[in-house]
């Protein structure tokens, strides 16, 4: 296989176990070549209106609602180290002190995964 340079970019090839030849044009465009079929795409991107803020301050007992979307993602999910997850891109819960942690939105398609982190800070009131 001969590889050509396009401007200052270089094609980087590798073969998958099923025999599909993958060519990567760095840095952003990924082209998968399988027989006569050519697929082009890129990993998901988040727009400014697709995500919650990077930090959210709440009091214990308040409802937290997290929404995340990406127009070119096949799958969107929220995960956290405390076990709260949602495979639908939306997560709502009543905040407890254990929820003070980073929540990650993962958006994925066949070309990669993109992550957004929202830090939840739960403040406790003592009477």
Closest by CA position to 66, among listed 44, 47, 85: 85
- Do 67 and 86 form a contact (C-beta atoms < 8 A)? no
- pLDDT tens digits for range 1-11: 444 444 444 55
More confidently predicted of 42 and 7: 42
> How deeply is 120 buried, as exposed, middle or buried, from its count of CB atoms within 10 A (0-12, 13-18, 19+)?
buried
State the DSSP string of 16-60.
-TTS-EEEEETTTEEEEEETTEEEEE------TTSS--SEEEEET
On the question of a cis peptide bond just before residue 125, with omega within 30 degrees of 0, the verdict is no
pLDDT for the residue numbered 115: 92
User: Burial letters for 2-22: b for 16+ Cβ neighbours within 10 Å, e otherwise?
Assistant: eeeeeeeeeeeeeeeeeeeee
The class (CATH top level) of 55-123 is mainly beta
Range 100-115 average pLDDT: 91
Cα torsion 88, 90, 95, 98: sign: positive
pLDDT for the residue numbered 54: 94
Token pair, residue 125, equals: 């009131």
Percent of the chain with pLDDT over 90: 41
Q: State the CB neighbour count (10 A cutoff) for residue 98.
A: 13
């Amino acid at each position: 296989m001969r590889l050509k340079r396009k401007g200052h970019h270089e094609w980087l090839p590798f073969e998958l176990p099923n025999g599909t030849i993958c060519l990567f044009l760095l840095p952003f465009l990924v082209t998968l070549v399988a027989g006569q079929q050519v697929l082009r795409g890129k990993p998901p991107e988040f727009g400014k209106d697709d995500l919650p803020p990077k930090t959210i301050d709440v009091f214990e007992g308040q409802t937290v609602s997290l929404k995340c979307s990406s127009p070119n993602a096949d799958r969107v999910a929220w995960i956290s180290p405390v076990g709260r997850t949602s495979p639908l891109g939306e997560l709502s819960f009543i905040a407890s002190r254990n929820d003070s942690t980073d929540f990650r939105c993962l958006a994925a398609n066949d070309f990669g995964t993109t992550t957004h982190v929202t830090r939840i800070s739960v403040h406790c009131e003592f009477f």
